[in-house]
Amino acid sequence: MTQLNGTLGFLGMGNMGGAILKGLLESAVITPARVAIFDVDVDKIAAAKAMGVHAAASPADLAAQCDIIVLAVKPQIMAEALGQIKPTLNPAALMVSIAAGISIDNIKNVLGMETRVVRVMPNTPALVLAGAAGIALSANCTEADAVAARTIFESVGVVAMVDEPMIDVVTALSGSGPAYFFYMVECLVTAATAQGLDEQQALQLASQTLLGAGRLLSESGELPATLRQRVTSKGGTTEAALNAFRQNNFEAVIAAGVNAAVARAHELGK
């Protein structure tokens, strides 16, 4: 795997920031000695120190020592956080934002238009090193910046490079997507228990089916339609279920959900 050059900083060490740091260290993309973090939560600082990374004294202290900074604070405090790092920020440092709804221009407007910014929409399966992230680069990013961004997020999953306007679609697809699959598992479990199956057995079987289907789709290299057709025998149980889904406008329901999420992402970004 590609090594990450320079010193990496994390401004904020929540679940996602912690997952990314864990992935980077486990994959040996960077050594703990070249990582620094800042967070207001003493427990998060202690957890980071336990991984062998340095805890900066303040956002300004973090900015002064890092070549790449992952902006992992909540969107509502991003402007304040950027203001705190601006005075000591190395003009050549790369900003990598995982804050939902915060555009590249929002960050540039605070730090300066010459700042190189990577905007990322990751998702929660990064917590188990199975994430999916959409990455958009500012126009002044270099090829080395693209490699660095890919290196960071490939340590916790897969990456798709997109233009920034597509980040809202990525948000609706893979950013929010885990909740869609969790909801479907909830519905499957409810339906199975209504038919008399034990709830824990139903949950175990549904969870494993979700995991197995995802791995089969990811690792086989085949289209989902092809895999679906292989499971669907003419006149069989799967065909009966799929026909019922179609009759109840399953495709339209999914499209409506994705469209609603895209629209909401647009609103949050304004």
Name the nearest CA neighbour of 19 among 132, 145, 137, 160: 132
Per-residue confidence (pLDDT) for residue 1, from 0 to 100: 62
103: its two tokens: 């555009």
Do residues 129 and 151 touch, judged by C-beta distance below 8 A? no
Do residues 268 and 99 touch, judged by C-beta distance below 8 A? no
Distance of CA 98 to the CA centre of its chain: 8
**Parallel, antiparallel, or unpaired for β 94-97 and 35-38?**
unpaired
Per-residue confidence (pLDDT) for residue 267, from 0 to 100: 86
**Whole-angstrom Cα distance, residue 47 to residue 28?**
18
pTM of this prediction exceeds 0.85:
yes
Strand partners, 132: 158
Do residues 164 and 103 touch, judged by C-beta distance below 8 A? yes
What is the residue-level pLDDT of the chain in tens, covering all 270 positions?
678 889 999 999 988 999 999 999 998 999 999 999 999 999 999 988 899 999 999 999 999 999 999 999 999 999 999 999 999 999 999 999 999 889 999 999 999 999 999 999 999 999 899 999 999 999 999 999 999 999 999 999 999 999 999 999 999 999 999 999 999 999 999 999 999 999 999 999 999 999 999 999 999 999 999 999 999 999 999 999 999 999 999 999 999 999 999 999 888 877
129 Cβ contact list (under 8 Å, min separation 6): 19, 22, 23, 26, 155, 156, 157
Per-residue confidence (pLDDT) for residue 3, from 0 to 100: 82
Return the CATH class of domain 8-167: alpha beta
Domain locations in the chain as residue ranges: 8-167, 177-268
DSSP letters along 183-194, please? HHHHHHHHHHHH
The fold for domain 177-268 equals ProC C-terminal domain-like fold (1.10.3730)
**Parallel, antiparallel, or unpaired for β 157-161 and 131-137?**
parallel
